[in-house]
Amino acid sequence: MVRKETQIPYFEEQNISTVIGDLEKELSGVVKGMDEVIFAAGSGGDTSDQRTVDIDENGAKSLIDASVDSNVEKFVMLSSMGTDQPDSIPSLKQYLKSKKVADEYLKSSGLTYSIVKPGMLTNDEGKSEIQAKERLNKSGKIPRNDVAKVIVQSLNSDILKNKEVEILEGQTEIGLALTNI
């Protein structure tokens, strides 16, 4: 799903079909005919609290509702570490609260889901090696590339079926790390 028509050619060049949609608008038909949905949107660090709620909470809930209505088989949510203690990071407080509300909404939706909770995202080159547990009880960072690989693997297997997982950079190959959850 893309918001702007100008984004479509990039995906068409890679043989990827797209639909136009906006998390701040009606989404009822946007996932019709799809088997799997990944919610990887984020409001960004410089948005207002209200825009964070609109995108990370209400936009996610709207896409979850559309997925339920369209009988989507699996929904993967990109969330964040720290949602269990949003007050611990004042600058991310509203973001973490909104992510937690969306995570809980997904868990109660009846959809088969995976919730992926990375630490601080970096643009470092991924190594395809991570640490992964339902609760790591520590903070750290992880390359975006490795997060994307975790999300894709969670689509294609039952490893993270109806589970949440926290992930950080590590020394265990992604598939093995996820199998051990």
Instruction: Cite the active site residues.
Output: 95
Q: Which residues is 29 bridged to in the sheet?
A: none
Tokens of residue 116, six digits: 């992926």
- Token look-up 């926290």 returns 166
CA dihedral 16→20→24→29, nearest 10 degrees, is -100
Contact 92, 82 (CB under 8 A): yes
Contacts of 117 (CB under 8 A, 6+ apart): 79, 80, 81, 83, 164, 165, 166, 167
